[in-house]
Amino acid sequence: MREEARQHRIMVAAFEGWNDACSASTNVIRHLLDAYDSKDVGSIQGDGFYDYQMSRPMLCHVQGRRRIIWPEAKFYEVSVGEGATLLLEMGPEPNYRWSEFCRQSIHMAEDYEMDTIITLGSMFADCPHTRPLPIDDLEGDQDLSDTDGHSGPIGIPTVLDALASQDGYRTDSVWVSIPQYLGNDECAQGTLQLLRRLSAALGVDLAEGDLPRKAEEWKSQASVLLHCNDDLANYVHRLELDADAKAMGADGPAGDTPTGLELVKEAEEFLRSMGGDQDRADQ
């Protein structure tokens, strides 16, 4: 990320769903809201943007009264230090009218005089939990004709980056890769690495709270699977060799190993069996 963004007012956006493997990116927003005083400053209402069969409204009880919570994107203003004011956006990825949704997001950035927009995302990938998780830092205002970048399906962060860049904003998109063999449990390590990258962009030491401890617990739990599943251990060892080779600028080794998707099911079955054994032990 660029040095000049450090002293500016920055909007940070993360969206639940396809762009949010293991909730790693939206948990950055939740962490900041827990760590700092914040002010709820607005929302993008769900009507017209969400398929309520995909993002269902929630029923809750407040002081004995029933209340329906509709899907929406919410905005919060947070001061994290001198010269560093954030406008945080979080909500489910919309199902419809992405351009209009992003225009409303950009209007919020205009209203609160933001000059940089950073989107956060997380994706499943073939990477080992025993190494730092891969981080992709993509400047949204780069030449879109660059064929060395990503090609394929995109999510709402990419659209928001593109439209904001067209409107003259500095934009960055930061993504962390999550080991796909670990399933859908929250990944504190991914959240911690995104938070640290955001901290570097702001030039502010953001409070990490208990994220480092949770990240170590996540690694320890992942390592338990390797001790109980030889195929998974061999697969992760292969990923380690690939990661180390790439870190040294060499091509990783090739060979036939079980795929991450195949091993996800094995890992989930093992965790279920562990839960069943614990239930029987408690009886």
| Same domain for 240 and 126 | no
| Same domain for 195 and 99 | yes
Q: Are 251 and 216 within 8 A, CB to CB?
A: no
Q: Which of 172, 188, 209 is the last residue of a domain?
A: 209
| Same domain for 245 and 119 | no
Q: Per the structure block, which two tokens stand in for 37?
A: 């005083």
| Same domain for 36 and 157 | yes
Q: Which of 209, 226, 260 is the last residue of a domain?
A: 209
Give the residue from 21, 15, 163 showing the smallest Cα distance to 93.
15
| Same domain for 231 and 182 | no
> What is the domain extent for residue 267?
213-282
CATH at 123: 3.40.50.10900
Number of domains in the chain: 2
Rounded-to-10 torsion of CA 242, 150, 141, 41: -90
Q: What's the pTM?
A: 0.82
| Same domain for 224 and 180 | no
| Same domain for 180 and 101 | yes
H or E stretch at 159: helix 156-166
Specify burial of residue 200 (Cβ count, 10 A radius: 0-12, 13-18, 19+): middle
In angstroms, the CA 20 to CA 53 distance is 19
In angstroms, the CA 242 to CA 230 distance is 18
Specify burial of residue 3 (Cβ count, 10 A radius: 0-12, 13-18, 19+): exposed
Tell me how many degrees the CA angle 226-278-219 measures, rounded to the nearest 5: 30
SS3 content of the chain, % helix, strand, coil (to 5): 40, 25, 35
| Same domain for 68 and 150 | yes
Q: Are 169 and 115 within 8 A, CB to CB?
A: yes
In angstroms, the CA 221 to CA 219 distance is 6
H or E stretch at 98: helix 98-111
pLDDT of residue 168: 94
| Same domain for 264 and 179 | no
Q: Which of 209, 243, 262 is the last residue of a domain?
A: 209
| Same domain for 231 and 112 | no
In angstroms, the CA 268 to CA 71 distance is 30
| Same domain for 150 and 254 | no
Helix (H, G, I), strand (E, B) or coil at 55: coil
Report the interhelical angle of 156-166 vs 98-111 (nearest 10°). Answer: 50
Say which residues have a Cβ less than 8 Å from residue 196's Cβ, sequence separation at least 6. 206, 208
- Number of neighbours of residue 176 by Cβ within 10 angstroms: 28
In angstroms, the CA 197 to CA 119 distance is 12
Digits of tens for pLDDT over the chain (283 positions)? 444 444 568 999 999 999 999 999 999 999 999 999 999 999 998 889 998 888 888 898 877 888 888 899 999 999 997 778 999 999 999 999 999 999 999 999 999 999 999 999 999 999 999 999 999 987 654 444 443 455 778 999 999 999 999 999 999 999 999 999 988 889 999 999 999 999 998 888 999 999 999 999 999 999 998 888 888 899 999 999 999 998 887 554 444 445 545 555 555 555 555 555 555 555 5
Specify the amino acid at residue 126.
D
| Same domain for 134 and 84 | yes
